[in-house]
């Protein structure tokens, strides 16, 4: 059952012209997520090709990895800096975090509708999107880890690495739980996607997206040929050296 069906979603009346303008002004990297159309049939099939051991999609002899640089471009984030990458502090609880740890999504909805300060309403609306769309965990509950990241965005901390880490964590969880281990043969669209991906060849791939123009790429950490991505619920391994062709490098 989806979040909308359970009533744990963002209603249209929260998103008027004033809120939209202020939202795009203050959270330029986030609202674009609301405009993305998800092909559920492609996503269901694509997840079956995720390789948890190497944190990449494997289509026969072809490997593809979501990269930090791609996420930065898609989310309109500026150049990543090591000192601005998110890392969760230990044993730091502000009043805001204590409050949000006990507040539910219904309380957030009430705040969005009733708060007299439009800026505050937009902030709460943005927090709702981070909790419902970017880092969903438990319906009806605002996770303290999400509020910690959100609280630090004003300090120019970039959320890109945490979002990519959550992508990997979610894909790993799907594979381990075998949620999509067996193809759904009752859907013709999924059958078509399965056929396409199973027969994918190197010459079929545009290795670098036309909108990706990276000046620098993050591909290793110290002497290691992989990078630890710090997320809000832990770290995952990221190995872009597997897919240098996505930067048009051989």
pLDDT tens for 98-134 read 445 545 555 666 655 666 677 777 777 787 778 777 8
Structure-model confidence comparison of residues 214 and 238, the more confident one: 238
Can you state the angle between helices 105-114 and 118-129, rounded to 10 degrees? 150
**Is 225 a residue whose pLDDT tops 60?**
yes
Task: Tell me the mean pLDDT in the region 220-232.
Answer: 78
* Helices and strands in the chain: count of H runs, count of E runs: 9, 5
Task: Tell me the mean pLDDT in the region 129-141.
Answer: 75
pLDDT above 90 coverage of the chain, percent: 4
Looking at the fold, whether 200 and 189 belong to one and the same domain comes out as yes
pLDDT above 70 coverage of the chain, percent: 65
- pLDDT confidence band for 13 (50 / 70 / 90): low
- Is residue 76 helix, strand or coil? coil
- Beta strand pairing status for 62-64 and 50-51? unpaired
Task: Tell me the mean pLDDT in the region 11-30.
Answer: 68
Looking at the fold, whether 102 and 216 belong to one and the same domain comes out as no
Looking at the fold, whether 246 and 172 belong to one and the same domain comes out as yes
Looking at the fold, whether 197 and 227 belong to one and the same domain comes out as yes
Task: Tell me the mean pLDDT in the region 209-236.
Answer: 76
Both tokens of residue 87? 């890392």
Looking at the fold, whether 244 and 122 belong to one and the same domain comes out as no
Looking at the fold, whether 248 and 197 belong to one and the same domain comes out as yes
Looking at the fold, whether 240 and 182 belong to one and the same domain comes out as yes
- pLDDT confidence band for 50 (50 / 70 / 90): very high
Residue range(s) defining the domain that contains residue 119: 1-36+87-157
- pLDDT confidence band for 250 (50 / 70 / 90): very low
Looking at the fold, whether 152 and 168 belong to one and the same domain comes out as no
Reported pTM? 0.73
Number of independent structural domains in the chain: 2
Task: Tell me the mean pLDDT in the region 19-23.
Answer: 76
Say if CB 50 and CB 175 are below 8 A apart. Answer: yes
Residues 166-198: tens digit of each pLDDT = 999 989 888 877 654 555 555 668 888 888 888
**Is 1 a residue whose pLDDT tops 50?**
no
Looking at the fold, whether 126 and 216 belong to one and the same domain comes out as no
Looking at the fold, whether 182 and 243 belong to one and the same domain comes out as yes
Looking at the fold, whether 62 and 138 belong to one and the same domain comes out as no
Last residue of a domain, one of 157, 187, 212: 157
Last residue of a domain, one of 157, 173, 208: 157
Looking at the fold, whether 8 and 125 belong to one and the same domain comes out as yes
- Is residue 249 helix, strand or coil? coil
Last residue of a domain, one of 136, 157, 178: 157
């Amino acid at each position: 059952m989806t979040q909308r069906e359970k009533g744990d979603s963002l209603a249209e009346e929260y998103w008027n012209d004033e809120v939209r303008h202020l939202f795009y002004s203050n959270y330029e990297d986030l609202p674009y997520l609301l405009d993305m159309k998800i092909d559920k049939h492609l996503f269901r099939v694509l997840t079956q090709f995720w390789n948890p051991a190497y944190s990449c999609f494997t289509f026969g002899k072809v490997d593809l990895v979501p990269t930090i640089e791609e996420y930065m471009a898609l989310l309109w984030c500026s150049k990543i800096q090591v000192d601005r990458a998110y890392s969760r502090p230990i044993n730091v609880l502000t009043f805001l975090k204590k409050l949000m740890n006990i507040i539910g999504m219904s309380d957030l909805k009430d705040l969005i509708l009733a708060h007299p300060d439009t800026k505050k309403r937009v902030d709460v609306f943005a927090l709702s999107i981070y909790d419902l769309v970017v880092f969903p965990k438990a319906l009806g509950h605002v996770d303290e880890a999400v509020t910690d990241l959100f609280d630090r965005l004003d300090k120019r901390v970039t959320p890109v690495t945490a979002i990519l880490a959550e992508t990997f964590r979610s894909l790993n969880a799907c594979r381990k739980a075998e949620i999509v281990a067996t193809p759904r043969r009752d859907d013709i669209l999924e059958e078509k996607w399965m056929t396409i991906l199973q027969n994918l060849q190197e010459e079929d791939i545009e290795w670098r997206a036309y909108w990706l123009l990276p000046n620098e790429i993050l591909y290793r950490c110290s002497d290691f040929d992989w990078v630890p991505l710090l997320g809000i619920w832990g770290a995952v391994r990221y190995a872009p050296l597997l897919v240098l062709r996505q930067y048009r490098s051989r």
